[in-house]
Amino acid sequence: MKSIQPFVSLGLFLLFLLAWEFLPPWFKVPRYILPTTSQTWHELMLMITRDNLMYHVLSTVAMTVLGFAIGSLFGAMAGYLLGMSPFWEGVLSPYLLALQIAPKVAFAPLFIMWFGYTFWPKLLVTVLIVFFPILVNVLQAMRTLDRDQINLARAYSMSRAQIFWKVEFPASLPALMAGLRIGATLAVIGVTVGELVGGNTGLGFLITYGEGQANAAMVFNAILLLTVIGVGLYAAVSALEHRLLHYIPRVAR
């Protein structure tokens, strides 16, 4: 059965494209509501030549990767530092919980008021959205470490840094990679929110522009390209995870 799975997936995709092409005209759905596949493709070609699409794509990709990298770095650092210090974890937990519960997208207008219509608002929203999944995963991993291994390391007179790099960090790596996979999908959301609210470049800006022009095909194309960016970043993190955690056996299905 596994050998035919790719063909079934491809068949479903082609069926979806055919339905998208022929059903809207059949039901007399206007183009500004639901464009067909060919109309969406034609608009994509126009966006490349008329709207400098590649510039907007590269802008979104750059902000997504940069926000993901910064948010992941700070999230992992905070998770490890709090995991190694139960005192500071107890002190800061209420504030971190409050910030985690607060809707991150609501900060975008505030960042625009502070930094204007620059790249900073969308970068900061992305960092904020990516930060917490990494922090929570790493902190949970640090809480559930095997204390016997740590005690054994101490018995061998290992320093605190040696215990971290030889025991704690390798043991928490699966949780860290799981958090990175979550953050990879959320990074695209963060950048899009920033571009929708106050961006003048990027695919989120094209969504707003297409909405103002009643150009549903442009909106569809921007959404599809955002999806491709998210899938690409997720695939890159998954490939890194597979390389780093190759020693963990995979469950056969």
Please tell me the predicted confidence (pLDDT) of residue 106: 85
Q: Is 145 left (phi over 0), alpha (psi -120 to 50) or beta?
A: beta
At 163, list the tokens: 């215990």
Side chain identity, residue 60: T
Please tell me the predicted confidence (pLDDT) of residue 80: 93
pTM score of the predicted model: 0.90
CA 111, 116, 122, 126: dihedral to nearest 10 degrees? -30
Regions of the chain with pLDDT less than 70 = 1-2, 249-253
Please tell me the predicted confidence (pLDDT) of residue 101: 85
At 66, list the tokens: 């940069």
Please tell me the predicted confidence (pLDDT) of residue 145: 84
Please tell me the predicted confidence (pLDDT) of residue 2: 65
**Per residue in 87-96, pLDDT tens?**
888 888 888 8
Please tell me the predicted confidence (pLDDT) of residue 1: 62
Short-list 30, 63, 46, CA closest to 203: 63
Q: Name the maximum alpha-carbon separation found in the chain.
A: 77
Please tell me the predicted confidence (pLDDT) of residue 53: 94
Please tell me the predicted confidence (pLDDT) of residue 97: 82
At 34, list the tokens: 């639901």
C-alpha distances in Å from residue 58, one per residue of 53, 188, 194, 249: 9, 13, 15, 37
Please tell me the predicted confidence (pLDDT) of residue 252: 52
Cα–Cα distance measured from residue 155 to residue 161, given in angstroms and rounded to the nearest whole number: 15
At 17, list the tokens: 């494209």
Side chain identity, residue 72: S
**Per residue in 18-63, pLDDT tens?**
999 998 899 888 888 999 999 999 999 999 998 899 999 999 999 9
CATH numeric code, 37-244: 1.10.3720.10
